[in-house]
Amino acid sequence: MTDKTDIKREFQIPEKRFFGRRKGKSFSPRQQGLMDALLPKLDVPIPAEGEGMIDLGGLFGGKVKHVWLEIGFGKGEHLAWQAANHRDVGVIGCEPYLNGVVGLLDHIEHTDTSNIRIYGDDARHVIWKLPDASVSRIFLLHPDPWPKSRHARRRFVNKHNLDDLARIMKDGAELRIGTDHPLYREWTALQMSQRCEFEWLAEGPDDWLVRPDDWPETRYEVKAIEGRATYFRFRRLPRS
């Protein structure tokens, strides 16, 4: 279970506090049934302080070659596509908005997908407890841009979170960040340019303005102004 004291201590740092809504409209009886019966089977247990890190082999029953992480999966369309097209990969999805969680549960029930695990809360609870160099790919797609300058500390792409991602990523692992907000595009480029652990994979403008074939379109991109979406891809450089 999550160690609340440990999380409270972490959240004393402004950049590590959570801001956002947890729930929208009420669940139908069927949706509540998914939350009560299916979610516990797919839940990612968070070890308490002093109990070590998440056992990824046990989490996926030793049946996957790689582990990927999606931070804030929305309704889960992208995560579900990746899991369906990479059956040898275990995909952990983190989403604090519970209506998004139930949407992904509905998909899993209808498709009987077995390589997805879900944490219905702040992704950082999971990240802090993942072993070093254990994740092969991370997705952060259309995070809240928090456009007001006084809210800049709330943006997920910040020094503290990037420190944590660099720790859990394997050498050569890929970090994908998608946004349709011009401020967040500039912010991400600036923050990543200050990191020595990551290499930007773009060789020309088409590399970050054109969506890769294995990056399925999300509902946020459909709403975006044509040509405004940005597709960042960074590689974790080898540890010295």
Strand partners, 178: 141, 231
- Report yes or no: 73 and 93 within 8 Å, Cβ to Cβ: yes
Question: Which tokens go with 197?
Answer: 């652990």
Phi then psi for residue 171, to 5 deg, are: -60, 130
Options 144, 164, 180, 206, the catalytic residue = 144
For residue 205, give the H/E element and its range. Answer: none
- 208 close to 149: Cβ distance less than 8 angstroms: no
55 catalytic residue (yes or no): no
DSSP for residue 219 = H
Which amino acid appears at position 83 of this protein?
Answer: A
C-alpha torsion 23→29→34→40, nearest 10: 80
Active site residues: 144
